[in-house]
Amino acid sequence: MSPINTTLYKRSSYLAVLISVLLFGCANNENAQAEQNTTTNNTPTTNTNQVNTSTSTESDASVVDALQKNLAASGIETTIISATPTEMPDMYWVTAEGLPSFFADKTGQHIIQGQIIRIGDAEPVDIATPLQTQAAQQKLAAVAKEDMVIFPANGETKGVIYAFTDADCGYCRKLHSEMQEINDKGIEVRYLAWPRSQQTVPKMEAIWCSEDRNAAMNTAKSGGEVAPSSCENPVAEQVELGLGLGVRGTPAIFTESGEQIGGYLPAEQIAQALGI
C-alpha cells in the first residue's frame, strides 16, 4: 500500500516527504485508549478547566503569505490555499494544493507533522479531526457524479461511501468482490481513481475512458485486461484530491460527512459505520 509517486503530478518530492506523515482522524486512537482504560480500570481525571474550542473559520491571510514566502525561500514550490486558526493558540490548520493538510505556527516559519492532542477530558481529542472531516465533506461533494464510477444501492439508498481505489490493489479487489453485499445493504459506492504507481495510471485511465465504466471496473478488479483507451479524464485530478485529503494507500473509504472510516472494511462494518 505504498503511496503514489507524486512527482508524476509535478509535486515537489521534498515537500511530499516533508508532509508525508500526517494524522488521519483520531477514532482508532480513541478506541484503543478506551479499550486500555477498560482493561486497566483506569479512571479518567476530570478536567476542571474549561477549554475554548470555538475558533474562527476564516483563513488568516498574513499566515498564508508568511508560509508561502518561507516555503519559497527554502526551495519548496506549492500554493498555500488557507491557514485557519485552531483551538490551540497561535496554531493554524493549513491546506495546500495537492497535499495533506498540516499544522503551522503563526509566524509561518514552522510546519508541524503529526497530531496535536487535547487532553484533560475523558478521552484524548485530536483537534484536527473536525477540520479534516469538514474539508473532506466539501471536497468530495464537489466531485461531479459523471467523474466517478458509481455502483448504486439495490433498492433504497440508505448510505453513500466514497472509495479511492486502484486497479491492482489486493484489498481494493477484496472490497469490490463484496460489492453485491454492500449494495444489497442499501449502500452506494462512489469510486475515485487513485493509482498507486505510474504503472497503474494507464489501467485507471482505461477504466475511466471505457464506454461502460462499471463493466471495465469489474474486469479490472477480477484481474482481467481492460482495453487501452485514452480520453480527457479526471484521474490526475482525483489523485490530487486524494493527496489533499491525506490518502496514502488504497482503498481509502470516506462517508458523505467526510469521515474516513477505514481502508478495506467488510460490508457489515461499512453498514455499521454508516448507522445502517
User: CB neighbours (10 Å) of residue 139?
Assistant: 17
Q: What are phi and psi of 6, to 5 degrees?
A: -70, -15
Based on the residue annotation, tell me whether 172 is a catalytic residue of this protein.
yes
**30, 123 contact by CB (below 8 A):** yes
User: CB neighbours (10 Å) of residue 163?
Assistant: 25
Closest alpha carbon to 161 in 31, 276, 30, 38: 276
Three-class secondary structure of residue 121 per DSSP: coil
Closest alpha carbon to 26 in 112, 137, 129: 129
Based on the residue annotation, tell me whether 65 is a catalytic residue of this protein.
no
| Strand partners for 84 | 93
User: CB neighbours (10 Å) of residue 224?
Assistant: 9
The one catalytic residue among 11, 190, 196, 248? 196
Based on the residue annotation, tell me whether 169 is a catalytic residue of this protein.
yes
Chain centroid to CA 268: 21
My answer on whether omega of the bond before 3 falls inside 30° of 0, hence cis, is no
The one catalytic residue among 11, 126, 169, 213? 169
Based on the residue annotation, tell me whether 213 is a catalytic residue of this protein.
no
The one catalytic residue among 26, 60, 126, 166? 166
Catalytic residues: 166, 169, 172, 196
